[in-house]
Every structure is written in structure tokens, then in C-alpha cells.
Structure 1
């Protein structure tokens, strides 16, 4: 006969449905309460003019950071100083593995009572090892099942008792340190590749722009001379306009003197009885800076004549027409014919080069460069927080026209370096993924990874 015990939910010390514990591994399983002790710090009452820095904790074990600064008179509720060396987590996002070790430089930074802190027993557990366990995907899944609240996104809370009740694998201390060292070596190599990639990209773009004669304006001394103009007469308010000017070695021409510029069509409303032909189409998310993201290409139905007019051809320039970010407006890529009979939405402007004096790869480089993209930022208009450039303004975008041989040389030099940088970034991403996979296998998998 089955016996069921019933108790009010509020009297339970913890909620432990299936999946709320980490599966047993070949390592000894130890309750977190044996490894971590909550630190109770005294609340800090700031003076009204004191600058108080508040910390946040990034998701998936990506560290602690200074989130904001307030004066003491703006602080509402109690605040508590962080303890360097302690493990800290965000109650609201424990299920997102918002755990971190507090570094020494965070001394003096405050948190609210939503950020419990713990001292790790370093005689049996390496603090960095425990932090990495808490930042793992395996841990995140378990934390979600142990968190309580009405909505996962904003109200799930991981209670201290539920955290301390968790049972985790605990290899011997020397094995913990070896696992951490192996993981950190992978991450260090990935970070080196990212730094090298950024330097390579920056150097390549600087070389490209300097070859065209792009120079920064000399610093100038501010005088008492003031120029007054009607605000409505300004093309836009641009704080950057005072900082740099562009002087080019080659003459410029508007894009429409060298290319046919056209806006795409609107996607039919959902449920509309559209007739015609169904075609794959490119949208804003597809057009990245210097590349296309074709991972999520959708279809729409348009009249046959419109499909024929909008069908893309290899070598077409594609511009982002609208964006919530002023920095991204006008970013440019090239269509290489990857998908047959593909058209484009009205969030994308097509520029089909009609002159043999302009090389597509060079044009793409120019419009993605700092001076080339400045035109789009200056001419963009905004409605409801979205910036737009339109086909008309895109058509008038100035582009320098060096001799074709120079265009080819500059484009090849730039994009060959970008390809190397992208390869380094891909290797870095692979190393990070490998580090996570190896860590999970070493900790949550079989103990045969132990030094035998």
C-alpha cells in the first residue's frame, strides 16, 4: 500500500522536485553547506554626499562588475559591502548561474540583500573550482528547478537554504586545482586570440583609411567665439562633428552615379491573403557588417513582377536601412548569390553597381569604415527610437573612386586580414566551448579523468 505524506508548502525547508539535484558522479557528493558558510555583513549607512558604488553579477559565471554609482541620498534600502574572496550570487538569477568570486579590487563596493555572500572552506574546496561549478550549464539547470517564483524571467529567486542544500561532486583538492588550471589555460589562450584579433582588425582598418587619405583633425583650442544656428536647420546634433574631419586623396562621387539603388518591399501582414510567387528574402538581421547571416532566412509571397525587380544578383551591395542603434545604421555586406531567387525586405537597401569604376569589395569596405559610415549616422532620421536612412539618402552616400587597381589592392589587403581575425575569433570560441565541455566532463562525468 502506498503511503503519501502531506504537508503545507510553507513549512518545507526546501523544494526538491525531480531534477533539483545534480546527478551523482564517481566523485564524492558533498552538500554545499559543508563547503560554504554565509557571510553576514553589517549594513552600511552612507552619508548623503557619499558616492556609493553598487555591484552586479553577470550570468553564467562571467564575473562581478560595478553596475552603477549613486550618492548616499539616492540609496533606498539597506546596502552591504562585498567581501573580497567570497562567493556571491544574485538571488533573482541564480538559475542563470549569476555567481562570481569577488576580486580584491571590488573592496568598498556595495550590494543589496539580493546578493548573499559565502566563505568557501579552502581546506577541502578550491574557491575558484566551486565558482566554476556554480557557473556551469549543469548547475544552471538544477538551479532553475530549485528557484521559486511566479515568472522565470524576473521573479525566480534562489533561496540561500536551497543553495546550501545542493549536493555537488567534490574531487580531491589537488584534482580540483588541476581541473581549474586546465580550464584556465584554455580560456587564457582564447583571450589571447581575441586580443590579437582585435589588434589585427584595428590595424587593417587604419591602414585602409590612411591609404585613402583619412586623417583626424588637429586638436584645437576652444575660444570665446560662438556660432549660432537654428536647431531646425541642423542635419542632426552630432557631438563627434567637432572631433574629426575627413580629407581624401581621391575624388568622391554619390553612390547613385555608380550604382542602381533600390529599397526592398514590405513583408505582407500575417494572415493577409497574398498572391503571387513565394521567395526567400533578406531582412535587417541578415545584413551584418561585412558579412551576411543566412542562418534564419524566411519566405514571403509577392507579385511576380515585384519578385523579378527585387531579385538579388551576385555583387549587389546590401545596406541596413533601419536599426535601433545609430552605430549600426548603413552597415554593408555583399550578396554572392548564396540562395537562388532571393529578394530583400524594405529594411534592406540594395545597391547594384552599374559602373566598372567601382569594385564591390572596395565599396563594402568604404561604407563599413569609420569615415564611410559617418555619412549614414549624420543623415539618419529617427522615429520611436528607430533610426532610418532610406534609399534616397543611401543613393547620395559619397564614395571615393581611386583607380580600380588601387581599389582591388586595398580591398584585398583589408579583407584578407579580416579573414584571419575571424578565424582567430572562431578558434577562441571553440576553445571556450572546449573548456566548458572538458570541465563538465571532469566534474560531472566519470572520475576516470582523475590522474591515474
Structure 2
């Protein structure tokens, strides 16, 4: 085999070295044998998250097995199989008894030659991910594997040790800020949900009637993909992935060709409530109000479009009720379920009982929800800015475009 450069366009005069010369060990783990209770925990792919090592996803492993690979603090853990998970990496930072399963590769860096956090940062860059995909993956879709031997021949830039550590410290500081901001956002979401739930409970208790949704709104599924006929037009459409709990995510849109008749039939309007039919349990009845930010736009057949009679039922009230404990309880009670999967049909959605308070009370709930949504949007924007800043700074540091002073040398010169 020949060495292959990771391809980061460095602007510094850093030497390169292949990974095998920088490491004590590059190895896959071993197949686990799960048990109910054990002091030994198996590290699987779900433990390796972009935010770091998640011990909560480690499962008990039979301690009687002797031929296992133990994780050591500072190991770089790299997911090694499966579309959507392969290539994700993190630093192992625990001291408990953790073994590594066969879907994870351990990169144990020789710290006299390189900093583990530097190697992990290189793997997580866009260049690192592209390099893994082009040089180190084998197999077909959903069966792809990481080639350990090809990985060891990957050539990476190696700055002076002090500079590696300083870069890693800077990125760790930013990661800590991002994690703190995520915690703040989750707390605000939890408080907002609690306030909305309390207000919704009070308002529901004052409802004048409980009516099936079909008497208050028109309900239809979206377009079935692949039914294009002559005289078609191309339109952007919303998938299940776009319809999140409380908001519509249009960051990644796709287009579909449909007949002009279907385009007219399935066209979305501002105020339509979009609800997903299911799949994983978290997608059951998940939804939000469409704001027509993209016009024209339609939705696919796994998303229900609910168009309310706004003189009786406000869309925002329906969306809040659907996502409440009462709404989710209804969906779960009537859904067709298999292992970890559940779905509802249009008839079940049409029969959903809706407590109907006066419009003024519905508006009161909407005011409470909008206040919380404003805080969530503000903190989400701050989180996104931090992530964008980190990504840009990481690329500047890892390419040598921006150099960091060697702290020890600066101290000596004072």
C-alpha cells in the first residue's frame, strides 16, 4: 500500500507523517456479548457523538471474555461501519472499564509524536471526512466498512507538539461554550414546554365542546412521489425530515415533478398545519404551522396537511395541542405499531378529538407560545453562530492559515 495525504491545504511548513508512525495502536474492537449487569461496558457507535463520548449509550458486556480491547483515556474512537455513522469520531475521556466493540476503531496516539485531540480534529474536518470516504471505505450502501490498513497509511500534517496542544485547547474551549449553549437552549425549551402545558391545560378545561378534527378543518395527505404524468411542473416539497416538532426546517429541500393538477391540489398555504404520519415513535403526529417562506411548495404523502377553519380553530392552537401530552397520548393510543415504529392514517387524524375553547382563549395560548418561541429562536441563533465560528476557526487553525503563539515560549520571553 502507498501513503495517501489527507489533503488539508496547509499554509504552514509542517511535516507530514503516516498515521501508523504516530500511533501505538490502530485496531478494531471485538464483538460484544451483552448481559443485563456487568461492571464492563461496551462502547458502540452510539457512544461516539459529534459532541463527544456519550457513556449513557454503552451497554453491559460479559466480563468473562478475555480477548477484548480496552479503551484508554485519550484514545481516538472512530465509527467504522454503516451509512450515517461511519467516520464519526471523538476522544475517550473516561477511566472506567470500557471495552470497544467491533464496529469501532481505536486510534491510540503516541503522545511523544502527536496530540490525540489534533488527530481527532483532523478526522472531523471536511477534508478528513472526504478523505476517509474516498480512500478508507469499502463495500456498498448501508454495508460500508472502514479499512483499518488504509487508515494507517493516511498521511497527516504534524505541527510542533506545543502548537498542536494550543490548537486543541482553543477548540476544546469553543466546544465547551457550544455545549453550555446547548444546555441553556434545552433548559429554555423545557421551561417553555412546561409553561405552555400549564396554560394549555387551563384553556382546555374551559373548552365549550370537544369536536372531531374533521369538523374543524380539511385534511389531506401530500403527493405520492413517482406519480408524474404529462404536463408536469417541478416544485420544492416538504419531507418528514423537514417537519420537526414545533418548526419547519427548510435548510435542505428537494424538488419533485408533479402534474399541474396535483400541483394545484397539494399546494401549501400559510397557516397550514403539517403533521407527520409516523415512522420512528418521535415522528408520530409531529408537526408545526407552515409560514409559506417558500412559495409555491407542496408536501409528500407521509405528511398530512391540515387547513383549519380559522373562524373556529386557529392553526397555532391546533399545533400546540397536537404536540401536547394529550395530543401525543391520542396518537399513541390509535397508532398502528410494530417494534419502534408507529403510524396513523388520515381517518384516525380526522377523528382526533379537539377541545374547542373560544377564539380569545386560543389566542392567549398563542401569545404564551410565541414568547417562548422567541427566546428559543434567539438562543438557537446564538448556538448556530458559535458553531459557524468554530468551523471557520478550526479550518484556519488546522490549515496553518492562522498560527497560535506557543504559550510556554511567550512566557519564557517575558
TM, length-normalised to structure 2: 0.78
Higher Cα Rg: structure 1 or 2?
1
Cα distance in 1, alignment partners of residues 80 and 240 from structure 2: 36
* Paired residue secondary structure (1:336): coil
Confirm or deny that 1:195 pairs with 2:183. yes
* Aligned twin of 2:67: 78
Cα distance in 2, alignment partners of residues 415 and 98 from structure 1: 36
* Aligned twin of 1:253: 210
1:15-94 equivalences under 5 Å are 15-16=2-3, 19=5, 22-31=8-17, 32=19, 35-38=22-25, 51=38, 52-56=40-44, 58=48, 62-63=52-53, 65=55, 67-71=58-62, 78-89=67-78
1:358-437 equivalences under 5 Å are 358-382=313-337, 387-437=342-392
Per-residue deviation, 1:367: 1.2
Distance change (3 Å), C-alpha of 1:353 and 1:156: closer
* Paired residue secondary structure (1:213): helix
Contact 1:259-1:353 within 8 A present in 2 as well? yes
Confirm or deny that 1:267 pairs with 2:257. no
Cα distance in 2, alignment partners of residues 182 and 16 from structure 1: 30
* Aligned twin of 2:158: 169
Gaps of 5+ in 2: none
* Paired residue secondary structure (2:349): helix
* CA-to-aligned-CA distance 1:297-342 (integer Å, 9 cap, x gap): 53443464x655544433232222x221233222232233444454
Cα distance in 2, alignment partners of residues 419 and 351 from structure 1: 24
Q: Which moved more, 1:253-262 or 1:200-209?
A: 253-262
TM, length-normalised to structure 1: 0.72
* Aligned twin of 2:167: 179
* Aligned twin of 1:210: 198
* CA-to-aligned-CA distance 1:119-171 (integer Å, 9 cap, x gap): 532x5644433433343333333344542644486454443685266342313
Contact 2:68-2:100 within 8 A present in 1 as well? yes
Distance change (3 Å), C-alpha of 1:198 and 1:114: closer
Contact 1:201-1:421 within 8 A present in 2 as well? yes
Per-residue deviation, 1:213: 2.9
* Aligned twin of 2:130: 141
* Aligned twin of 2:248: 292
Equivalent of 2:97 in 95, 104, 107: 107
Per-residue deviation, 1:286: 3.8
Confirm or deny that 1:333 pairs with 2:276. no
* CA-to-aligned-CA distance 1:13-57 (integer Å, 9 cap, x gap): x3335x5565554143152456432399xx999999983421135
- The number of residues matched between the two structures is 399
Contact 1:116-1:160 within 8 A present in 2 as well? no
Cα distance in 1, alignment partners of residues 225 and 33 from structure 2: 57
Cα distance in 1, alignment partners of residues 152 and 305 from structure 2: 54
What CA RMSD, in Å, does the superposition of the two structures yield over aligned residues?
4.2
Confirm or deny that 1:444 pairs with 2:399. yes
Cα distance in 1, alignment partners of residues 50 and 123 from structure 2: 8
Gaps of 5+ in 1: 1-13, 215-245
* Paired residue secondary structure (2:281): coil
Distance change (3 Å), C-alpha of 1:413 and 1:386: same
Cα distance in 1, alignment partners of residues 129 and 175 from structure 2: 20
